[in-house]
Structures are given as structure tokens and as C-alpha cells.
């Protein structure tokens, strides 16, 4: 994993209110850096944003 990717993952970890699942997925990605494993991280972060579990980001309901 390159430094830029590592820095972004660390930044995201710091924003999550409950980073346990994120930590597991990052460890999985570090062991096997496939697109599928990266997609799992992206999906989890998207879900956490929608739930309002990311510091500084608020989910706004669709009108």
C-alpha cells in the first residue's frame, strides 16, 4: 500500500465513531490488496456516512 492510500485510510479511521469493522476490513485489504477488498472498505464508509457515524459529516435525507 502506498503512503497516500495509507494516509487516507488513517484519516478515515480518525473520523469514524466506531472504527472496529473498518479496522478489520483495512487489515484484510493490507493482507490482500484486491479491488474487491477495497470496495468493501468503500461500501462500509458509505454506510457509516449514511448512518451519521462519521465525525463532521452529516447525512441529509432525500426530499
For residue 40, count CB atoms less than 10 angstroms from its CB and return exposed for 0-12, middle for 13-18, buried for 19 or more: middle
Place of cell 494516509: 7
pTM reported for the whole predicted model? 0.78
Q: What is the pLDDT of residues 17-50, one digit of tens each?
A: 889 999 999 999 999 999 999 999 999 999 998 8
CA dihedral for 6, 4, 54, 22, sign (positive or negative): negative
Greater confidence, 8 or 62? Answer: 8
Residue 5 has pLDDT above 90, yes or no: no
pLDDT at 55: 85
State the Cα–Cα distance between residues 10 and 56, nearest whole angstrom. 16
- Name 33's Cβ contacts closer than 8 Å, sequence gap at least 6: 1
Amino acid at each position: 500500500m502506498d503512503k497516500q492510500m495509507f494516509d487516507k485510510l488513517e484519516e478515515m479511521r480518525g473520523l469514524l465513531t466506531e472504527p472496529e469493522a473498518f479496522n478489520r476490513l483495512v487489515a484484510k485489504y493490507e493482507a490482500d490488496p484486491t479491488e474487491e477488498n477495497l470496495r468493501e472498505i468503500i461500501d462500509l464508509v458509505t454506510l457509516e456516512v449514511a448512518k451519521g457515524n462519521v465525525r463532521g459529516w452529516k447525512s441529509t435525507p432525500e426530499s
